[in-house]
């Protein structure tokens, strides 16, 4: 027998480089290489987008909210560069320019303009009417449970509006803030001292004006800014999410905290609806949604007019912040408080 036959390992151990290059890799190596290639291919797929935080508005909501300070800032800058506005006399006690038609810098600078009298002064009535027209006409809200929850959210926002502008266990928050910051009703206080008026005449702006007094000295939160921001974004929330889902145009999802602490998309709590035909954005709004869009558009215009002609910048800022506080309590807080969400729900879910 030869040496190679006696020692078979020697042949395998001492192969030349040329022999090695001609030798194909073992099947197991090929299989392992293929498996690795397959794995690397699957890992190149794009990862799902990061879930939005439940504690803050979604990116789209933030973009819409940013329009409000943008309008206020633009209005403030316009009032500084407009020759007519700068030249017009300004009455700081009234937070407005002189109301004489010949001296007012614009029709919208006058408090008796029709848009202010018929729309802003009755703003919550317009907001409420357009909201309920939408709720009772849109097919996505045909179930009673959806209408009830939408109505509860309207009740929460309306309560905040009442507390801030009408009544808060006595004077409204706006009036209390004015008094706490050093404001008073000048003429009426003299009348109280002389016994010609009651103490209630100096506690609210409306009573002060009705008694012939002048509301001076304190910080007056802009009620117009508060109303227009709160009401318009309330409508945007209630109509926007419903119409977007109806048109199958949802590009992002709100996140919610579940009872076990898990964070999931809000759609997991929605009821399964039968598939509907895709519709355009205009069709998804419906007649009620178009009315809402008109109210929101007019609110934005009057917010701009307020920013240009009325109140100081700080009064407008506090009006914005108080409105945002109410919106957060109604639309963001329920996303991470399951018990509250179980009562008032989320729009479009």
* Average pLDDT of span 322-342: 96
What is the SS3 assignment for 347? coil
**Neighbouring-strand partners of residue 257:** 263
Q: What's the pTM value of the predicted model, to 2 decimals?
A: 0.79
Predicted confidence band of residue 1 (pLDDT cuts 50, 70, 90): very low
Predicted confidence band of residue 212 (pLDDT cuts 50, 70, 90): low
The residues annotated with a catalytic role in the active site are 224, 311
Distance, CA of 104 to CA of 310 (rounded, Å):
12
pLDDT > 60? residue 188: no
Give the CB-side neighbour count of residue 71, counting CA atoms within 13 A: 22
Predicted confidence band of residue 194 (pLDDT cuts 50, 70, 90): low
Q: What is the reported pLDDT for 35?
A: 38
Interacting residues of 168 by C-beta distance below 8 A, sequence separation 6+: 162, 176
Alpha-carbon distances, residue 18 vs 22, 27, 30, 218 (angstroms):
6, 20, 21, 97
* Average pLDDT of span 66-92: 89
Q: What is the reported pLDDT for 276?
A: 59
Q: What is the reported pLDDT for 8?
A: 45
Write out pLDDT tens, residues 284-329.
Answer: 889 999 999 999 999 999 999 999 999 888 999 999 999 999 999 9
pLDDT > 50? residue 88: yes
User: Smallest Cα–Cα separation from 251: which of 104, 49, 35?
Assistant: 49
- Mean pLDDT taken over the chain: 81
Q: What is the reported pLDDT for 70?
A: 97
3-state helix, strand, coil in the chain (%, to 5): 65, 5, 30
């Amino acid at each position: 027998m030869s040496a190679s036959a006696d020692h078979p390992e020697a042949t395998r151990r001492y192969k030349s480089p040329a022999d090695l290059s001609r030798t194909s890799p073992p099947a197991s190596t090929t299989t392992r290489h293929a498996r690795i290639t397959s794995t690397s291919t699957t890992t190149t797929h794009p990862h799902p987008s990061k879930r939005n935080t439940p504690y803050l508005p979604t990116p789209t909501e933030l973009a819409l909210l940013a329009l409000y300070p943008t309008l206020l800032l633009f209005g403030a800058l316009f009032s500084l560069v407009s020759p007519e506005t700068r030249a017009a006399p300004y009455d700081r006690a009234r937070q407005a320019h002189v109301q004489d038609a010949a001296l007012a810098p614009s029709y919208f600078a006058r408090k008796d303009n029709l848009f202010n009298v018929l729309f802003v002064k009755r703003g919550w009535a317009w907001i409420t009417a357009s909201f309920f027209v939408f709720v009772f006409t849109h097919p996505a809200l045909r179930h009673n449970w959806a209408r009830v929850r939408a109505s509860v959210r309207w009740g929460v926002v309306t309560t905040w509006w009442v507390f801030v502008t009408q009544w808060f266990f006595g004077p409204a928050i706006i009036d209390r803030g004015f008094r706490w910051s050093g404001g008073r009703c000048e003429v009426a206080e003299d009348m109280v001292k002389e016994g010609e008026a009651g103490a209630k005449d100096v506690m609210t702006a409306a009573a002060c004006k009705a008694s012939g007094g002048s509301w001076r000295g304190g910080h007056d939160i802009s009620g117009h800014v508060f109303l227009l921001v709160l009401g318009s974004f309330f409508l945007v929330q209630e109509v926007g999410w419903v119409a977007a889902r109806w048109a199958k145009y949802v590009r992002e999802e709100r996140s919610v905290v579940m009872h076990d602490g898990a964070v999931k998309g809000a759609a997991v709590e929605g009821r399964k609806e039968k598939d509907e035909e895709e519709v355009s954005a205009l069709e998804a709004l419906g007649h009620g949604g178009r009315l809402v869009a008109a109210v929101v558009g007019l609110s934005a215009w009057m917010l701009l007019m307020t920013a240009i002609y009325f109140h100081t910048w700080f009064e407008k800022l506090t009006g914005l912040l108080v409105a945002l506080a109410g919106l957060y309590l109604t639309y963001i807080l329920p996303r991470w408080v399951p018990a509250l969400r179980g009562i008032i729900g989320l729009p479009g879910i």
